């Protein structure tokens, strides 16, 4: 039953306008639609509202460059360039995508407050910042 629900949920997301090449990091929440607000069950039945945010990688830049979110929010990076890009933390391992080809995506949810600076490994001048409140 659970596997059926998971497959149905992934199928809905893959048919969205983000494309079908989504990388789901281990332990991350699966989502069904961009721009949706989902109720995620955590810590003995307590509900937390989460939001989803889109960052496009386009013209060798992250757009938006800086984004403020709340703990538990999900960010989806989508590569719109023909060049390969990454989403890689400046410090630590919070963000660590594979090389993303055109239309591939990387998804991450932030569970801790803080400021997370990141860059593209092949193009070190490409920089972004996530501020988690």
The pLDDT tens digits of the residues spanning 21-70 come to 444 444 444 333 344 444 343 444 456 688 999 999 999 999 999 999 99
User: pLDDT tens for residues 57-116?
Assistant: 999 999 999 999 999 999 999 999 999 999 999 999 999 999 999 999 999 999 999 999
- Other C-beta atoms closer than 10 Å to the C-beta of 89 total 14
Q: How confident is the model at residue 47, as a pLDDT? A: 65
Domain ranges, ordered by start, for the chain: 2-32+48-132
Say which residue, 53 or 6, is predicted with more confidence.
53
What's the pLDDT score for residue 49? 81
Pairing outcome for strands 22-23 and 37-42: unpaired
pTM summary value: 0.67
Q: What is the mean pLDDT of residues 5-15?
A: 33
What 8-state DSSP symbol labels residue 130? Answer: E
Q: Is 27 left (phi over 0), alpha (psi -120 to 50) or beta?
A: left
Tokens matching residue 87: 């989403």
User: d(Cα 118, Cα 67) in Å, to the nearest integer?
Assistant: 12
pLDDT the model gives residue 41: 38
CATH number listed for the domain at residues 2-32+48-132: 2.60.40.420
Span 112-131, average pLDDT: 98
Token pair 């989403």 in the structure block, residue: 87
DSSP of 52-71, one letter per residue?
EEEEEEETTEEESSEEEE-T
119 contacts 126 by C-beta, under 8 angstroms: yes
Residue-wise over 32-49: b if at least 16 C-beta within 10 A, else e?
A: eeeeeebeeeeeeeeeee
What is the mean predicted confidence (pLDDT) over 10-24?
A: 39
The candidate with the shortest Cα–Cα distance to 106, out of 128, 91, 125, 133, is 128
CA–CA separation, 112 vs 129, rounded Å?
A: 15
């Amino acid at each position: 039953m659970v596997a059926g629900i998971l497959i149905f949920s992934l199928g809905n997301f893959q048919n969205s306008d983000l494309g079908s090449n989504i990388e789901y990091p281990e332990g991350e929440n699966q989502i069904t639609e961009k721009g949706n607000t989902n109720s995620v069950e955590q810590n003995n039945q307590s509900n937390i509202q989460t939001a989803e945010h889109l960052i496009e990688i386009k013209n060798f830049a992250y757009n938006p460059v800086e984004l403020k979110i709340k703990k538990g929010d999900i960010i989806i990076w989508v590569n719109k360039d023909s060049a390969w890009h990454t989403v890689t933390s400046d410090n630590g391992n919070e963000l660590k995508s594979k090389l993303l080809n055109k239309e591939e995506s990387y998804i991450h949810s932030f569970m801790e407050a803080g400021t997370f600076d990141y860059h593209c490994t092949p193009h070190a001048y490409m920089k972004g910042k996530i501020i988690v409140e």
